[in-house]
Structure 1
Amino acid sequence: MTFSTNAPARTLRGIGYDAGVIYDGDFDSRPVWEADAVRADLRAIRRRLGCDAVLVMATDIDRLLETARIACEEGLAVWIQPRLFDARCGEIAWHLAEVATRAEELRRAVDRHHREDRPVHIVEFGTCAYAGAADNSSQASDVLREVDGGLEVPETLVRDEQGQADYLDEMFDIFDQVGVDGTFVWGFSEPRLTRSDEPRQDLDRASYGIVAPLPEGTWQPKAAFGAVARRHGAAP
């Protein structure tokens, strides 16, 4: 489901944005959602990365659509992905119907479907920032493990931000060669997977995010951030 204020539908340079997904019953990928912080993220996506589109995913409908509204205000085309895990079929159907109904209020009569010449978009491609992650990109985060109610990564995991950036560059080259209409890198950040000087707590190494979340709530660009900005033609 997509809606937009002004971005073109055929030249999407996008990225995924985690607004808070509940996994495995109680794991919240974004425990704290603040409108100002979200707006700052989306403004960076538009202005510093050069993206013209964002794929917003969340479990809570209010949070999903409020993030989408802010993204529209920042000049981004918006794709929304409601995510509801471990629910009955009836609950999932209601959830999707509610999102669809309320999303129409944001669409503002913009219809960018191309029925005769359907565009091809690539969504959720990327890898993590440790050595060897690109060899198993779709499951690279499986190195995360639960220990005493928290998350850890192996102490021997070697941070490799350039490897993450190189993987994205390789994928962009392939997509350019085959002529896809748009791409969505996964992703901007994974807020629960913070950076740390303590090796086992340096969860960002197992994150697909192109920025590293810090415990105090800010973030730092990784090498992949620069790669995406360069490929999207963002101003230095």
Structure 2
Amino acid sequence: MYAFDIERPTTVADAVKLLVASEENQPLSGGQTLIPTLKQRLASPETLISLTGIDEIKGICEDDSGRICIGAATTHAEVASGAGKYPALAALASHIGDPAVRNRGTIGGSLANNDPSACYPAAALGSGAVIVTNSRDIAADDYFQGMFTTALEPGEIITEVKFPVPQKAAYMKFEQPASRFALVGVFVAQYEGGVRVAVTGASEEGVFRWSEAEAALSSDFSASALEGLSLPGDGMISDMHGSGDYRAHLVAVMTRRAVTAAG
């Protein structure tokens, strides 16, 4: 690990000032990805800007439109125990990593990193969530832009995530047993206006929506509506854990399981 300084601001405004002071400065939330990266000397920030002391971006509440609003510095364990009005989201959070990860990792850190196998991106995209930053609101459909790539600009910090609560929803994850990341994870949510299906862990482009499944399920929200639907293996992640074709097959399997669990 390279040497670095650390700053602990107590407001978002102070954190932004510190972050934009140098291109070498980097925000630190739960650190569940960044700290291992630093240990392997794959990153060498000049200063880490810790966000854990900013109370204004912690906690869970409900807004006037019934959305579940979660502060970016809220841990996975807190989401699991506090997002009971959105059971599928709480259940997803309760199965991220292990207890150590759940008690340190944060929803904002996960969404900012946008790991292609992380669970929260599927929940945000599958729910049509809004990612709120210190300067604007970003719809989930516009936020995720590829593997480890988001719409965040330099000096922009996630402060809150707003989740519309669906009529029915479920998340099913085929877990890689060592890392507990999703080899494939599918989040299905039924709203009055239709169904959203978001897939993580599968594509080389990161989290994505499966439009064909959404159309089928919007007409008939049942696992049988998905019969005959499949995705090609091209463009899917292929590694030691599974080929692209295998992951494409798992997407269909996990989608059917999620619909059954939700229904």
Shorter-chain TM-score bucket reads under 0.3
TM-score by length of 1: 0.25
Q: Which has the higher contact order (CA 8 A, sep 6+)?
A: 1
